[in-house]
Structure 1
Amino acid sequence: MTTTADSGISRRRLLGIFAAGIVAAAPTYSNAFGLLRGAGDVRRVRMYSGRSGESLDTIYWIDGKYIPEAMAEINHFMRDVRTGSTMKMDARTIDIMAAAHNLMDVTEPYMLLSGYRSPQTNAALRSRSSGVARNSLHMKGQAADLRLKSRSVSQMARAAEACASGGVGRYSRSNFVHMDCGPVRTWGG
């Protein structure tokens, strides 16, 4: 995994440097359908986790193909940190996150609050909060709860809703947005 603690030049870092140049030159297809809106020819995701202290900045898709090593890094990064269990994250959710990030025109990484949740973690959270769904898409690797310091919940939700590719939940009191690749729907305030 690429973390802030890495100090040398690795193959992954070299690919990132190369792709960063491509990202700057890549067109943005704002009229493309659904989750490709705003994604361009290169897709990149940037996140950090306050729970694990890890950071991730990776290009996971180039010219129509997902990069298996990058997707494996994302799966590990978005693991249930409470149990250490991982799940293959649905690439559609990552695409929605990346497209929304591009639409907001920010360089700040997402703060990942919750990616994959094991059934045990979901049950524990559900026992403490009415806002946790019994059959949460987090348990299928199809959802993420995200925050940005530089954007409001409303701005983040509008960007995700513009992708018209899944569920978008606004949690203004807790200052985060839920994005998933389930049916298109919105909730919260």
Structure 2
Amino acid sequence: MAQNDRSSGLNRRGLLLGAFAATTVAAAPTYSNAFGILRGAGDIRRIKMYSGRTGEKIDTIYWIEGNYIKDAIDEINFFMRDWRNNKVRGIDTRTIDIMSASHNLLDTTEPYMLISGYRSPETNAMLRSRSSGVAKNSRHLVGEAADLRLSSRSVNQMYRAAAACAGGGVGRYSSSNFVHMDCGPVRSWGR
């Protein structure tokens, strides 16, 4: 029997090494692991933010066991609206996922301070006229970006957490004390 196990490549040591290798691959730092989610174990995703501009707060579970919760996503979309003119646009759930995963990696209970979510074309044009750091075709215009701050974490810590997700663009704005996260192509910028 032992001879048959060896010839087929199946033996106790081979099985243990295979199990170890599979565990190692599964534990590798990837975007999906950033959520700290184990499939079938009551998976949830949550986002906590407040707005210094409107005074509003949000703390919601927006995804449970593979399904986005429509009412929670609608609440997030409204929260992340252009506060200057109250225009609402759907925020890409990939951006929300990056924000949530980054927050989990930072191991803090402090909610994000939302600096900017969706920006209407009028707001983006106004901001561009005041600053060279505002992109003409910003991902904020299509609901794919967020600018966020945490008082308990540095810009560099937030930047590294978002970059570890490898889910989109991450911009470091140290002088303004915020990090940009978006679901566009993977790229990074800033100091």
TM-score > 0.5, shorter chain as reference: yes
Structure (1/2) with the larger helix percentage? 2
Gaps of 5+ in 2: 1-25, 38-42
* 2:31 aligned residue (9, 31, 34): 34
Contact 2:34 2:104 in 1 (8 A): no
The count of aligned residue pairs is 161
Contact 1:35 1:165 in 2 (8 A): no
CA distance in 2, matches of 1:153, 1:172: 6
Describe the superposition over 1:43-70 as per-residue Cα deviations: whole angstroms up to 9, x where unpaired: 0000000001000000000000000000
Contact 1:36 1:95 in 2 (8 A): no
Describe the superposition over 1:121-152 as per-residue Cα deviations: whole angstroms up to 9, x where unpaired: 00000000000000000000000000000000
Over the matched positions of the two proteins, sequence identity in percent amounts to 66
Give the structure 2 partner of residue 179 of structure 1: 181
Choose 1 or 2 for highest CA Rg.
2
Gaps of 5+ in 1: 1-28
* 1:55 and 2:52 matched: no
Give the structure 2 partner of residue 136 of structure 1: 138
RMSD of the alignment, in Å? Answer: 1.3
Could you tell me which amino acid in structure 2 is paired with residue 170 of structure 1?
R
Describe the superposition over 1:3-62 as per-residue Cα deviations: whole angstroms up to 9, x where unpaired: xxxxxxxxxxxxxxxxxxxxxxxxxx8647425622521100000000010000000000
Give the structure 2 partner of residue 116 of structure 1: 118
Change in Cα spacing, 1:68 to 1:39, as seen in structure 2 (3 Å) is farther
CA distance in 1, matches of 2:27, 2:72: 24
Contact 1:165 1:181 in 2 (8 A): yes
CA distance in 2, matches of 1:49, 1:30: 35
